[in-house]
Amino acid sequence: MTQPTTMVIVNASPKGEYSLTLQYARYLMMHEQDVVWNVLDIGEMLTDNDYESEWFHASLELIQECDAVLWATPVYTMLVPYQLLRFFQLIQQEGKDSIFSGKYATSIMSCFHYYDHLAQHWLQATCEDLGMWYMEGLSVDDKDLLNRTYRQSMRFFMAEFHRSCKQRLPLPRQSREIVQEHVPFKPQLDGRQVGKREDIRTVLLTDEVGEDGNLSAMIKVFLASYPNKVEVVDIKSFPYEGACQGCLRCELVGECDRKDGFQAFYQNLVNSCDVLVHAMNLEGRYLKPVWKLFLDRTFSNGHRTSMMGKHTCYLVSGPLDQLPYVRQFLEGKDMVGRENSVGVISDDLCHDEELGRLISETALRLDRSARAHFQKGANFLGVGGMKIFRDLIYGMRGVVRDDHRFYKQRKLYDFPQRKMGHQLFNLFMGVAFWFKPVRLQAYQRMKPLYIAKQKQLVDSGKI
């Protein structure tokens, strides 16, 4: 008789046994033959600052001994929860990365499909860095498990994963190892002090300030060139009580369950600033984990895109050119939040003089953009993301009342079926288009008709 396969569910949800994702993971395991499995509630155990060292070491042993890992994780703030980053970080600090090597892995993620692809890519690439064989996982919503046909696909997925693991089948890789090429940035600053204006409140959030690294140097250049007074906030210095617990008290009651003052700190920050500069170090395949801690905690502000109409820019130190998904995260954050970012400046593709000039010019453009109230509009990342939020909030409007009020006041419920003009147009055209001659005529006149109003405006010379 062959030995059963041993698997571990690593549950990254802070909700532990109450995790929705865990129900999917349990279903997958329960319906697969010849598998014995355990659950590690790392999300719950690593939510508070302190954790049990004994539990942590026992968890590492369990992973060391298993054949395969099923990562069960919700999507949090366009990635996985901070707790999972922390888990990997603690393992690395222990020098125990090798426990994953050669094992098979896959994932089950539950979410609202808002930027879940970034979480999927990050997890797969992180596992590949650790020498795991990774099979593309499933991204599910809260209803999929209740659908019988989908459950059939889930069982098939799990059988395929088990087969790959038992027969050690090859699986396609998604990523290459990151090549770390650190070139120190040593800008020449002339030390001149220019008078700073105070009418535009600017805050710079960073994870490194006044140190030897490139990011500190990039900040120095920015501060020297930017014509307004800047308040620099080191996000490491906030006295976090712990990570987001996913309890949704913020959505239901309006207050964060944590009593460390983060919610008030963040709301005050975004409500009162005109310009927000982010200075960020990359680490692994994301930003420094403290950014994840910080960003997950900003969820206490609900789905209210509080940066709307403000102005931002991003200074990033690290191999951003090799991490397109981090770039997409920053762009998505800008686009959905309508932050009007003037750009992501990174030290990986240009150095010293060129980088210095780029930062200085960006600082000046940021000031001009804020003064001109420049609104850049949104691309697919912003429009698509906002439609997911819009539908989500509308569907739960009785429960998430603050979000609902925000969306209503800002006319973010832009459902096409609400527009009377569109309704009448489609009713009329729907009837007329039964007749082929009408369709032919429309086809012949389509080009000039489509641009008629726009052309008229441009031709008129109006401002």
Ligand X SMILES: Cc1cc2nc3c(=O)[nH]c(=O)nc-3n(C[C@H](O)[C@H](O)[C@H](O)COP(=O)(O)O)c2cc1C
Contacts with ligand X, residue ranges (CB under 6 A): 13, 15, 19-21, 74-78, 110-116, 142, 244, 246, 296, 299
**Single-letter residue type at 368:** R
Q: Smaller CB distance to ligand X: residue 113 or 397?
A: 113
Q: 């090429």: which residue's tokens?
A: 181
Instruction: Name the nearest CA neighbour of 342 among 276, 296, 268, 266.
Output: 276
- State CA 397 to chain mean position distance: 23
Instruction: Name the nearest CA neighbour of 60 among 25, 29, 100, 89.
Output: 100
**Minimum distance from residue 46 beta carbon to ligand X (Å):** 14
Residue 207 contacts residue 290 (beta carbons within 8 Å): yes
**Minimum distance from residue 320 beta carbon to ligand X (Å):** 21
Q: What are phi and psi of 179, to 5 degrees?
A: -95, 120
Residue 244 contacts residue 79 (beta carbons within 8 Å): no
**Minimum distance from residue 253 beta carbon to ligand X (Å):** 14
Distances (CA, A) of 310 to 199, 222, 235, 270, 364: 14, 18, 20, 9, 16
**Minimum distance from residue 258 beta carbon to ligand X (Å):** 12
Q: 């200075």: which residue's tokens?
A: 279
Q: Smaller CB distance to ligand X: residue 250 or 370?
A: 250
Q: Smaller CB distance to ligand X: residue 77 or 107?
A: 77
**Minimum distance from residue 203 beta carbon to ligand X (Å):** 22
**Minimum distance from residue 332 beta carbon to ligand X (Å):** 10
Q: Smaller CB distance to ligand X: residue 108 or 315?
A: 108
What residues contact 350, with CB distance under 8 A and at least 6 apart? 358
Q: Smaller CB distance to ligand X: residue 35 or 108?
A: 108
Instruction: Name the nearest CA neighbour of 116 among 154, 84, 79.
Output: 79
Q: Smaller CB distance to ligand X: residue 92 or 147?
A: 147
Q: Smaller CB distance to ligand X: residue 130 or 336?
A: 336
d(CA 450, CA 443): 11
d(CA 225, CA 356): 10
**Minimum distance from residue 44 beta carbon to ligand X (Å):** 10
Instruction: Name the nearest CA neighbour of 385 among 173, 178, 111.
Output: 111
**Minimum distance from residue 125 beta carbon to ligand X (Å):** 18
Distances (CA, A) of 307 to 259, 331, 338, 341, 448: 24, 14, 7, 10, 38
Q: Smaller CB distance to ligand X: residue 44 or 67?
A: 44
